[in-house]
A and B are shown apart, each in its own frame.
Chain A
Amino acid sequence: MIDFGYSIKADRQINFDTNSKRMLEFVRTAEPSIDWCMSCGTCSSACTAASITDYSLRRLILSVRRGIESDVLNTVFRCRFCGKCANACPRGVNTRNIIYMMQTAATKILNHETLMH
């Protein structure tokens, strides 16, 4: 193979049509209040983990909706369930259950299990 000295860069564009929404369905079945979320970011501003890692619940809920599973797999386990986000949420979303469900889904995916309750 010729070494050109450069390479093709991965396409960053989210392909909404082809990304799987299985994680969203999994979480939503258990915790429908995920649909109340308006991405205001109050949760991530209160978040303990967000101060020292790149964990952001606001972003994770969006990633789940867009089918970007890598974001969840890489960061969701940083949550320690302190509960500050649930306290802060202006819409009363059950954030801890959402995070718990995302962690459950992530574990299943990492163990190559099917995403079923």
Chain B
Amino acid sequence: MEAAANLSRMGHTVTLIEKSSATGGRLNQWHALFPSRISPRPLLERLKSEISGNVNVILDAEVTGIEKNDDGYVVDMANNRMITADAILLTSGFDIFEAEKKEEYGYGIYENVITSVDLERIFNTGQPLLTVQGRKPSRIGFIHCVGSRDEKAGNFHCSKVCCVTAVKQAIEVKELIPSAEVFLFYMDLRMYGRHFEELYKDAQFKHGIQFIRARLSEAFENEDGTVQIRIEDTLLARPLKMSLDLLVLMVGIQAPKKKGNIIDLVGIQRDTDGFPKLDDPYGMPFRTGIPGIYCAGGITGPKTIDETLTEARAVASEIDAYLTGMPSFSNFESIVIGL
């Protein structure tokens, strides 16, 4: 949306194609943004208002093909719709790791195992946080790096944002249920951003959240529905087992892998981590190498919201330069932003 608004301001005709029935992507899913825990709604409202009236928005439209012809690009969508463009910006975002793939964690098998995405949704509903059996959980555990830094899961890379998200969610859970014991099971704590380290210290001191350096090998469900976990307390070099009422899996960010996803449709080469191979990752981290086609935001890798918006403005100016440099400048049609 940010890129669309910027491009429109520069004088171009922009169409925004959205696969679902609302714009905003992942922003719609999150309850509070780290580190200061503000709501994403004001940002979402600002973005929506900036595109209203000047960007053509097509909702419920899944892109099924992109072909090049002499005039530019033709974008095909489901239900036989079609649109042409001089330039295309892909902002279809990242995928979230499917936690079922980590069979030993029991997502989809054990009742009280949920993901961080599920938890964020629960926060959004405003409902009390309860176990499936309807009890108030007295012990909640968060497992870091589910589907990230894990060759067996097919994702070797670090998803960057889950550590700080885990700390944020732990604090939110503790505020919801002050009597609960909250544990975070981490390999490393990647508190890279501004105010992230303070969030970590606050979590420990203000909220009494406990951090145990360990990686979960297997979870198991006891008869009463509680989850028993088997970890090694690495800093003590001893195996440890404990029971939890609720287990939250911090699922990682990955490149789209499903058949028919937009990266493969366009024919962009994949890098070793599955994300699009970038032409010039230092200087121009949104160029795909295919003239007229650009990528920005979560599609190029794990990213925070502020980074995504900055990238949006940068790529808008790059697309503007590309279009104004074209021989048929005065006659250009629309720029399409696909989702």
Binding site for B on A (CB under 8 A): 12-17, 32-33, 35-39, 58-59, 62-63, 65-66, 68, 91
Q: Give the tally of cross-chain contacts (CB within 8 A).
A: 50
Which of B205, B208, B211, B243 has the most A CB atoms < 10 Å from its CB?
Answer: B205
B236–A14 CB distance below 8 A: yes
Take A35-B204, A38-B204, A91-B201 as given contacts and tell me if A13 and B241 are in contact as well, using a CB distance cutoff of 8 Å: yes
Chain B residue contacts of A36, Cβ below 8 A = 201, 204-205
- Partner of B235 from A16, A58, A68, A91 at Cβ < 8 Å: A58
Chain A residue contacts of B205, Cβ below 8 A = 32-33, 35-36
A65–B210 CB distance below 8 A: yes
B101 contacts A by Cβ under 8 Å: no
A38 to B233, CA, bound (A): 14
**B201 closest partner in A (C-beta):** A36
Binding site for A on B (CB under 8 A): 189, 200-201, 204-205, 208, 210-211, 213, 233, 235-236, 238-243
Take A16-B242, A38-B211, A39-B213 as given contacts and tell me if A63 and B236 are in contact as well, using a CB distance cutoff of 8 Å: yes
A16–B241 CB distance below 8 A: yes
Take A32-B205, A36-B204, A39-B213 as given contacts and tell me if A13 and B239 are in contact as well, using a CB distance cutoff of 8 Å: yes
A14–B238 CB distance below 8 A: yes
B192 to chain A, nearest CB (A): 15
B203 to chain A, nearest CB (A): 10
Q: Could you list 17 A-B pairs, sorted by A, with CB under 8 Å? A: A12-B239, A13-B240, A13-B241, A14-B236, A14-B240, A15-B240, A17-B241, A35-B208, A36-B201, A36-B205, A38-B204, A39-B213, A59-B235, A62-B235, A66-B233, A68-B236, A91-B201
Chain A residue contacts of B238, Cβ below 8 A = 12-14
Chain A residue contacts of B233, Cβ below 8 A = 14, 62, 66
**B226 closest partner in A (C-beta):** A17
Chain A residue contacts of B235, Cβ below 8 A = 39, 58-59, 62
A36 to B202, CA, bound (A): 8
A91 to B238, CA, bound (A): 26
**A33 closest partner in B (C-beta):** B205
Chain A residue contacts of B241, Cβ below 8 A = 13-17
B200 to chain A, nearest CB (A): 8
- Partner of B236 from A35, A38, A66 at Cβ < 8 Å: A66
Chain B residue contacts of A12, Cβ below 8 A = 238-239
Chain B residue contacts of A14, Cβ below 8 A = 233, 236, 238-241
Take A15-B241, A38-B211 as given contacts and tell me if A62 and B204 are in contact as well, using a CB distance cutoff of 8 Å: no
B239–A17 CB distance below 8 A: no
A35 to B236, CA, bound (A): 18
**A15 closest partner in B (C-beta):** B241
Closest 9 CB pairs of A and B: A16-B242, A14-B240, A13-B239, A35-B205, A35-B204, A17-B243, A39-B235, A62-B236, A14-B238
A17 to chain B, nearest CB (A): 5
A76 to chain B, nearest CB (A): 16
